[in-house]
Amino acid sequence: MAAAIGALTLRATRAGLYDRLTSGVEGVDATTYPVLSGLDRIGPATATRLAEAIGMDRTVTTRYATRLQEAGLIARRPDPSDARATRLALTADGERAVLALRDAMQSFLAEEMATWPPGEAATFALHLERLTEALAYPDTSRTS
């Protein structure tokens, strides 16, 4: 299992996965993918809030956001309640891109899990989520 985690987090494996996922979507690659999908997940937000949500640095987030903006997938609008802030939001093209990416991921997972006994997929997903959380937030004590 440690080997599986090692392989899963290996550069080549990740690169292969995200290259396949994003190959059909113009303007998105393995680096900008988290920004796009994160923005879809939490909705329109400032760069700082988005950066926190996806575990990325503010500076990296804003730079990749610029790339996505140049590709026409997200838009910047001034925040009405704070003149310092800028609200990031998906454009119509951006939402289409998110849908395409989600479809690609889900079709891959569905194909992979087709042979699993019913119910195991749900259990697996739950475990994977918890394990990932434990990895991402090691300090959070899990005494549930």
Partner DNA sequence: TATTGTTATACTCTATAACTATA
Partner DNA sequence: TATAGTTATAGAGTATAACAATA
Q: Lay out the site mask for DNA across 81-110 (x = CB under 7 A, - = otherwise).
A: -xxxxxx-----------------------
- Strand order, beta sheet including 86-90: 45-46, 86-90, 74-78
* Angle (nearest 5°) at CA 30 between 1 and 6: 15
Which of 21, 62, 68, 98 lies at the binding interface for DNA (CB under 7 A)?
Answer: 62
Residue 59 sits in the site that holds DNA (CB under 7 A) = yes
Report d(CA 45, CA 27) in Å as an integer. 20
Which of 37, 58, 89, 104 lies at the binding interface for DNA (CB under 7 A)?
Answer: 58
Report d(CA 110, CA 114) in Å as an integer. 6
Residue 70 sits in the site that holds DNA (CB under 7 A) = no
Which of 25, 36, 47, 90 lies at the binding interface for DNA (CB under 7 A)?
Answer: 47
